[in-house]
Amino acid sequence: MSLVVVAGQTYDETLKMADFVTHFGHTTVCAHDGAEVIAKVHSVLPDVVLIDAATPIINGFQICREIRSNPVFKKIVIILVSDSGKKATKFYGLHQGADYTITKPLDENMLSKMLKKAAK
Amino acid sequence: MLEKMKQIFKFSSWGLLYKFTVPIILIVLVGALSIFVVMSNMTTSSLEIQVRKSLVQEATLLSDSVGQMLKDRVSAVETSIVTNLEVVSSAIQASSWSQQKKYSEYKNSLDIVNYARFAENDIFYGARRYLESLSEKFGFLEIRLNGTDGIAFMATRKLVNAGSLYDSWFVKVSEAFAKGEKYYLEPPVYNDKLDAFVFGIAAPILNQKTNAPVAFLLVSCMSDTVFESAFRLSGTDFLEGSNKSYGWIGKNDIILSSSQRHTVGDNIGPNPSFSKRHAQYLSASFDTKGNLVDSKWGIVERLQPSDLPALIKKYDQTQIKYIDAEKDSPQKLEFYNQLQNHAFGFSSDKQKAFSFCATGLNQNLNSLGHIFVSMNVSEYSKPVVILQTVMVPSIIGIVLVVMLAIFLIIRYVSRPIFLLAGSIYEVSLGNYDIKVPVLTDDEIGEVASSFNTMIDDIRVELKYWKRRDNL
């Protein structure tokens, strides 16, 4: 059971992702853009951040860099949802500080596995 | 660690890998395979060549030696006969003309003197006794004193009558002595009646006053003594410490011999491992009719005595012209070629042993017999074993190393490309404040720095437009 900050590309997507996460039994905090994600991270100090690479205002890669630059958030696990299935994007995401990457459409099993791993 | 390895594996450019690695690996594999095939073929063929060469050398050496041996033997017998004939004829002359008065002049031939002494009343008696002793000593087929007046004395070791041999000689001998020759030598010829090679020597007995021949001493000799010598030679002199077997088949008396000598002085016996395959036809003795006479070590399984005539016929057909006087004559070269062609002619197991035959010929180019040489080839199969045990694993190892190297190279290449592609994606999301790390000093690095310049320009442009909008 972990606290997850969720942010998608759009409002609908964010809700959908939040549904998944709550379905697996985690507590969810929704954010609708990158700036909000950073604010939420600062306020709630989550265990996991599940964000889209293309979040509005501040994109996912920037969020990754922001979180990783602060040693306080060292233990936060970042799961980056990339729009395209391109390897380059995934590699870039991991290089920017994400712990896991996952492609859209979201695979339930894979996401649950990742969240389980993150909870450990 | 495992996670990291997984990531490395996952984010390697498999596209590049497929494009470059797979063809390269295929090329390496095909190359390695072809090298292997070529090398194994080369090794196998060189093995064959080696074995053939070595066998040819062996047989050449052997047949050279046997030929030389035969020649020496013949000339030795001839010389001794001639010497003795001269003594005999001198003694006969002495006893007939000086009648015991000049014994002291023949001190070197005491035997003759002794024999002649008994022949006070019969000048030929001593001579006859001496003929017998000579026949005994040299194993002559027949020796006889043929007087021009028709009186003849004869000593025969074997109950064989040479028959027309002497009749045909007589004219030749008379002609030779009419020319004043010291003695007459008949070259060895094959005699159908005797089924043997026979050569003969004739010496005249001269009238001391007129110097005209009063009698001829005629000696004929069967060549079996010579064959025995050759057999002994092939059986002993060439076998010390070798893994080869030798056999000799005489034209007349078929003698087959298997021999393997480990140390000097051992009894001739077959190599146990070798004889399993080869004693069959190299360890038995046969008589002229092909009956098994002696099989000391022999198992005559493969080669039945009934096979022998066909065998001999076969090797007579491929008869090799062996001419001792002309070392590098065309005939000799042909001889070597034929030897090479027949290197497998007698092999029972091609993979394990080679054997073949060389024919010994007399000066009339008739075959005296056949020499067989067989050889265990295990020592020559070493290269093949090395090829199989060393080459194959090393080729597989090389292929694996090449694959790993290519994988690492492509990983090294793909890393900056991935970063660049990711950065471009981020720019597409609207972030113009990034800088792509320029990791390498090559073309990819150039692309990265060009990209940075472009982003800088766009940023400046955007600022300008924003300020303008605000105004």
B286 DSSP β-pair partners: B292
Is B422 in contact with A87 (Cβ distance < 8 A)?
no
pLDDT tens for B218-262 read: 666 554 444 444 444 444 333 333 444 444 444 333 333 333 322
- Average pLDDT (B376-397) is 67
* Contact residues, chain A, for B9 at CB < 8 Å: none
H or E element in which residue B453 lies: helix B443-470
Nearby residues of A93 by Cβ (< 8 Å), 6 or more positions away: A53, A60, A61, A64, A80, A82, A101, B422
- Give pairs for B283-287: CB < 8 Å, separation 24+: B283/B256, B283/B257, B283/B258, B284/B256, B285/B254, B285/B255, B285/B256, B285/B257, B286/B254, B286/B255, B286/B256, B287/B253, B287/B254
Is A94 in contact with B7 (Cβ distance < 8 A)?
yes
pLDDT classification of B131: cutoffs 50, 70, 90: low
Amino acid in the structure at residue B235: G
pLDDT at B323: 32
pLDDT classification of B339: cutoffs 50, 70, 90: very low
Quote the ipTM score.
Answer: 0.87
Mutate to test the interface with A, among B412, B425, B436 (most CBs of A within 10 A): B425
Question: How near does any CA of chain A get to the CA of B444, in Å?
Answer: 15
From B80, B185, B59, select the one nearest B138 (Cα to Cα).
B80
N-to-C CA span, chain B: 56
In chain B, what's the furthest Cα-to-Cα distance? 169
pLDDT at B416: 82
pLDDT classification of B166: cutoffs 50, 70, 90: low
Residue in B closest to A65 by C-alpha: B434
Q: Give the residue with greater pLDDT, B211 vs A80.
A: A80
pLDDT classification of B423: cutoffs 50, 70, 90: confident
Output DSSP code: residue B255: B
d(CA B291, CA B293): 6
Instruction: Give me the phi and psi of B125, to 5 degrees please.
Output: -60, -50
Is B426 in contact with A88 (Cβ distance < 8 A)?
no
Instruction: Assess whether the previous peptide bond of A105 is cis (omega < 30° from 0).
Output: yes
Residue in A closest to B13 by C-alpha: A87
Question: How near does any CA of chain B get to the CA of A105, in Å?
Answer: 19
Residue in B closest to A101 by C-alpha: B7
pLDDT at B74: 55
Q: What is the mean pLDDT of chain B?
A: 57
Q: What percent of chain B has pLDDT over 70?
A: 23
Question: How near does any CA of chain A get to the CA of B455, in Å?
Answer: 16
Q: Quick check: A54 contacting B, CB < 8 Å?
A: yes
CA B327 to chain centre: 18
Question: How near does any CA of chain B get to the CA of A81, in Å?
Answer: 14
Q: Quick check: A94 contacting B, CB < 8 Å?
A: yes
Q: Is the pLDDT of residue B409 over 70?
A: yes
Here the tokens at position B315 are: 């090797």
Q: Which of A53, A54, A92 sits opposite B423 (nearest CB)?
A: A92
pLDDT at B106: 40
pLDDT classification of B434: cutoffs 50, 70, 90: confident
Number of Cβ within a 10 Å radius of residue B395: 17
Q: Which of B7, B421, B429 sits opposite A88 (nearest CB)?
A: B421
Q: Give the residue with greater pLDDT, B4 vs B324.
A: B4
Overall residue count recorded for chain A in this entry: 120
d(CA B144, CA A14): 134
Question: Which ranges in B283-371 belong to alpha helices (H)?
Answer: 308-317, 330-341
Q: Quick check: A53 contacting B, CB < 8 Å?
A: yes
pLDDT at A1: 78
In contact, B77 and B219? CB cutoff 8 Å: no
